[in-house]
Amino acid sequence: YYPGETLKGVVEVQSKGSMVHQGITMNVEGSVVLQMSAKSVGLFEAFYSSLKPVNLFVFNAEIQGATKLPDGTTELPFEFKLDPVDGHKLHETYHGVYVNIQY
Protein backbone atom coordinates (compact mmCIF):
# COMPACT_ATOMS: atom_id res chain seq x y z
CA TYR A 1 0.00 0.00 0.00
CA TYR A 2 1.08 3.56 -0.68
CA PRO A 3 0.19 6.92 0.94
CA GLY A 4 -3.21 8.11 -0.22
CA GLU A 5 -4.50 4.62 -1.03
CA THR A 6 -7.56 3.20 0.70
CA LEU A 7 -7.12 0.07 2.78
CA LYS A 8 -10.24 -2.11 2.93
CA GLY A 9 -10.93 -5.27 4.84
CA VAL A 10 -13.25 -7.25 7.05
CA VAL A 11 -13.13 -8.04 10.75
CA GLU A 12 -14.57 -11.51 11.25
CA VAL A 13 -16.19 -12.30 14.61
CA GLN A 14 -17.05 -15.92 15.39
CA SER A 15 -19.29 -16.66 18.33
CA LYS A 16 -21.00 -19.69 19.79
CA GLY A 17 -24.44 -18.37 20.58
CA SER A 18 -25.51 -14.75 20.34
CA MET A 19 -23.26 -12.14 21.93
CA VAL A 20 -24.03 -8.65 23.24
CA HIS A 21 -21.22 -6.08 23.05
CA GLN A 22 -20.66 -2.40 23.83
CA GLY A 23 -19.16 -1.63 20.41
CA ILE A 24 -16.22 -2.76 18.30
CA THR A 25 -13.44 -0.29 17.53
CA MET A 26 -10.36 -0.47 15.34
CA ASN A 27 -7.13 1.31 16.29
CA VAL A 28 -4.28 1.31 13.77
CA GLU A 29 -0.94 3.07 14.30
CA GLY A 30 2.32 3.42 12.43
CA SER A 31 5.40 4.71 14.24
CA VAL A 32 9.16 5.15 14.20
CA VAL A 33 10.95 3.83 17.29
CA LEU A 34 14.61 4.22 18.22
CA GLN A 35 15.85 1.02 19.84
CA MET A 36 18.99 0.09 21.73
CA SER A 37 21.24 -2.82 20.87
CA ALA A 38 24.19 -4.36 22.72
CA LYS A 39 26.52 -2.57 20.25
CA SER A 40 25.02 0.84 20.94
CA VAL A 41 25.40 0.95 24.73
CA GLY A 42 26.85 4.33 25.55
CA LEU A 43 26.59 5.58 21.98
CA PHE A 44 22.89 6.50 21.97
CA GLU A 45 21.99 6.48 25.67
CA ALA A 46 21.67 10.28 25.88
CA PHE A 47 19.44 10.42 22.80
CA TYR A 48 17.43 7.31 23.60
CA SER A 49 16.23 8.55 26.98
CA SER A 50 14.84 11.75 25.41
CA LEU A 51 13.19 10.27 22.28
CA LYS A 52 9.70 8.86 22.20
CA PRO A 53 8.05 6.93 19.34
CA VAL A 54 6.95 9.21 16.51
CA ASN A 55 3.47 8.43 15.16
CA LEU A 56 3.37 8.57 11.37
CA PHE A 57 -0.18 7.26 10.99
CA VAL A 58 -3.17 6.98 13.32
CA PHE A 59 -6.64 5.63 12.56
CA ASN A 60 -9.31 5.06 15.21
CA ALA A 61 -12.89 4.22 14.33
CA GLU A 62 -15.91 2.41 15.65
CA ILE A 63 -16.72 -0.28 13.11
CA GLN A 64 -19.90 -1.32 14.88
CA GLY A 65 -21.91 0.29 17.66
CA ALA A 66 -23.29 -1.53 20.67
CA THR A 67 -25.55 -4.34 19.53
CA LYS A 68 -26.13 -8.07 19.65
CA LEU A 69 -24.21 -10.36 17.29
CA PRO A 70 -25.95 -13.51 16.08
CA ASP A 71 -24.65 -17.06 16.51
CA GLY A 72 -21.96 -17.97 13.98
CA THR A 73 -19.75 -15.72 11.88
CA THR A 74 -20.32 -11.99 11.46
CA GLU A 75 -18.28 -9.93 9.00
CA LEU A 76 -17.75 -6.25 9.77
CA PRO A 77 -16.29 -4.28 6.83
CA PHE A 78 -13.92 -1.37 7.34
CA GLU A 79 -11.91 1.01 5.18
CA PHE A 80 -9.58 3.91 5.76
CA LYS A 81 -7.26 6.11 3.72
CA LEU A 82 -3.52 5.89 4.37
CA ASP A 83 -2.82 9.53 5.13
CA PRO A 84 0.15 10.43 7.35
CA VAL A 85 -0.10 12.56 10.47
CA ASP A 86 0.44 16.26 9.62
CA GLY A 87 4.11 17.09 9.21
CA HIS A 88 5.20 13.48 8.58
CA LYS A 89 5.42 11.13 5.63
CA LEU A 90 4.89 7.38 5.48
CA HIS A 91 7.95 5.16 5.06
CA GLU A 92 8.31 1.49 4.20
CA THR A 93 8.27 -0.92 7.12
CA TYR A 94 11.86 -1.27 8.33
CA HIS A 95 13.53 -3.25 11.11
CA GLY A 96 17.13 -2.14 11.60
CA VAL A 97 19.78 -2.17 14.29
CA TYR A 98 18.75 1.18 15.79
CA VAL A 99 15.38 2.03 14.21
CA ASN A 100 12.05 0.25 13.66
CA ILE A 101 9.32 1.59 11.39
CA GLN A 102 6.20 -0.50 11.68
CA TYR A 103 2.49 -0.30 10.98
Q: pLDDT, tens digit, for every residue of 44-72?
A: 555 555 567 888 899 999 999 999 999 99
Name the helix (H) or strand (E) containing 62: strand 54-69
Q: Please say if the pLDDT value at position 37 is more than 70.
A: no
* Residue burial 7-33, b: 16+ Cβ < 10 Å; e: rest: eeeeeeeeeeeeeeeeebeeeeebbbe
pTM: 0.69
Q: For the chain, what percent of residues have pLDDT higher than 70?
A: 83
